[in-house]
Structure 1
Amino acid sequence: MLHSRPLLLSASLIAALFLAGCNQKQADKGGGAPAVKPEVSVMALHPTSVAVTATLPGRTAASLIAEVRPQVGGIIRKRNFQEGGSVKEGDTLYEIDPATYQAAYDSAAAALAKAEGAIPSAQAKVDRYKGLSQRDAVSQQDLDTAQATLVQAQADVASAKAALETARINLDYTKIRAPIGGRVGASTVTVGALVTADQTTALTTIRQIDPINVDVIQSSVNLLKLRRAIDEGRLKTTGGNVSVRLTLEDGSQYGDTGRIEFLDAAVEETTGTVRLRAEFPNADQLLLPGVYVRATIQEGIRQNSFLVPQRAVSRNAKGEPMAKFVGADGKVEERVLATERSVGNSWLVAQGIKDNERVVVEGMQRVRAGQEVTASEVIVNDATGELEQAADGNSTPAPEKQASAAPAAAAASK
């Protein structure tokens, strides 16, 4: 019995090795299980004309501003406007007590009448002396004296008329009128206050806000690139009327479209920026001066360019933007892209892509360069950046696939 136990163990070991060898031979004959190709979603790219825009920060400003000051001194007797309301050009805003100015006007009018009263007698004397002078009844000196008296009387009339006009202007200045139409601000004086001519403190301020201006800041470097692109023909402008759209503080879009009015002639030395001014209609006075806005300016049209979805672009170890493409042989190719700017939820790429090339928009993390994949074409909604619809009519991919592209989209946005 003791000798039979080692024999049994040896027989079992030999049988196990024999079975393992048979299984290996069967595996060698039949081959391993076929490798499964990873699935990715791709989007076919086609050249298109892209409206190139720039979104710049800015602030609204009144198109006209007038500070109202008195031109004569006196006591404010009446205020004829509602603070914060609208006024028209020529409306009477304040009334200064006109008593002293009315008296000055009446005095000037009387002085004019007196001066004009001396004209007839002086004129008659000159006419009489001219007739007598022809008969040598008066001397030439008397005639010259009469003529000088007439000229003096006429000068007195002209001086009196000027004094009367000055008195009339000062009397009219007792009614302080709006120099422009617009929204009037708070009053700095009340009825009964004493004001002086040309005082430094304005009585109130009027701002014309229809139309309203928007001052935006553009980098001088970007402006230089823009002009170079236009000169080289890479960017076609839309003409002299450059349209501008506004995004308000709450994220909403302003309804009316504006246009660029002028470009400043100098660069701000401390910031390296240039100021542009756009003008917008503001009939309902929704925009008030000083509001922070973001202006989207249409710079031109970029032809034969490609829009690559941002979710398809990531960064390599050097920080360069790159994307993965699926070639006609079904293999993955990694390519560095020369992205210029973002357009919606896509990157604008002008070079390095051919028509109908397929870029991987979903599942790029699961594949590597040179790997053969199974590709299904989809469409990316540029407004949302999400996979909208499969090209063959299938439904949108599962949510977990959409979420897997989020890190790549986040990396591309850096």
Structure 2
Amino acid sequence: MSDRHSAREIVALVADDSTFAELPASIRDPRPDGPLAWPGYDASRARAAERTGEQESVVCGTARIGGARAVLIAFEFGFLGGSLGERTGDLLEAAYTYAREHRLPVVPLVATGGSRMQEGMLALTQLQRVARQSALTREAGLAQVAVVRDPTTGGGWATLGAGADVVLALPGAQIGFAGSRVRPADADPAAYTAEAQVAAGAVDAVVRPEELRDTLARWLPLLTSPSGTPAPPPEPLGDSAGLPGTGWDAVRRARSPRRPHAAAYLDAYFTHRVAISGDRCGGTDPDGMLCGFGAHDGRTVAYAAQTGTATRPAGYRTAARLIRLADRLGIPVLTLVDTPGAANDAEAERQGTGAAIADLFVAVAGARTPVTTLVIGEGGSGGALALAAPGNTWATADSYFSVIAPELAAAILKRPPREVEPTADQLRIRPQDLVELGVIRGTVNP
């Protein structure tokens, strides 16, 4: 199935039947051959209008998607390549203004080749205009979920697409800042695809056209349900034998492959959930950090969960992105701590481990929305603490939290291997020790 849908076709794919209502178009009268008096521009626009039935490259309106009301911005690629000009900017500004006035999320359905050549720099400056509208909508606490289609390039990708809170893409769609006619001759075309953008952390997921409505119907209610009540910590899983007797016992239990990990806790906690992916800086950490939004007891809770592996810089940046988004939308956050520590290989350093951890500390510390943390396994050093909520952290009986792993602590102190287990006791890393020290609020035990 081709994803070269017209604006009306893509609206029909995502909107509930008979719910789309086009917003009144209030756009400036066209000047003869446009602001630059470009010869033949009027004729090009007339042919585009006749071919598509549209007066501009976007169609804006409201609709329900799975019952959730939203503002839709659908690009018509058949109208001069879905390019942005002054009148496009008029329509986009009006759509975002309507969304703010009526407290509605915005769903751009993007297919564009960029700015319109026939309007020169006046077309390019529409990107600033769009960015301003997006920023105002973000400040208003309203979600933006983009669907990027084939193709989405240039400024349309760099504003309405990549600038959205959540970015979904159609399979095989050409996506990138550089369009096909302006790339280096030896550029790998596979780098400019939806799948490549997911791998690079710029797109959250690839969604088939026939699944768009259901996918958006899961996302929109979750992103439009603010709550000021903290998320309760999850109930403990597994058959724990009470609290650990020694520090080393706590370490062994936290490292056991048989204890429940993040995915099991998330499955038990949420009735359904959707995931975000990528740090928007070129990286992902799918094996180390799970982030997204889910429904718990009838309300939305955002989550960032370590999976038991060393967390990579992209994982920390994705978690910071999740927490800031939840904070803007007024959604409480649950974090699950479970890592031996931050990845410490050379590549992790080149990717900015320290800066990524620092940014996550700031995101958690600056969050106005309540953050709740449960330590479910290893709590290794600052790489674990960065995800923990000050004053609202809990721990399971199968966990420990330490300034550093006992083996590494012994090595730093120049102690022989036989001193590792006593060192674990001295560090006081058991859940009950952490409660006594005031590091955590309490334990959740079977």
TM-score (norm 1): 0.23
Q: Which has the larger radius of gyration?
A: 1
**Which is bigger in relative contact order (C-alpha 8 A, separation at least 6)?**
1
TM-score (norm 2): 0.22
* Richer in helix (by share): 2
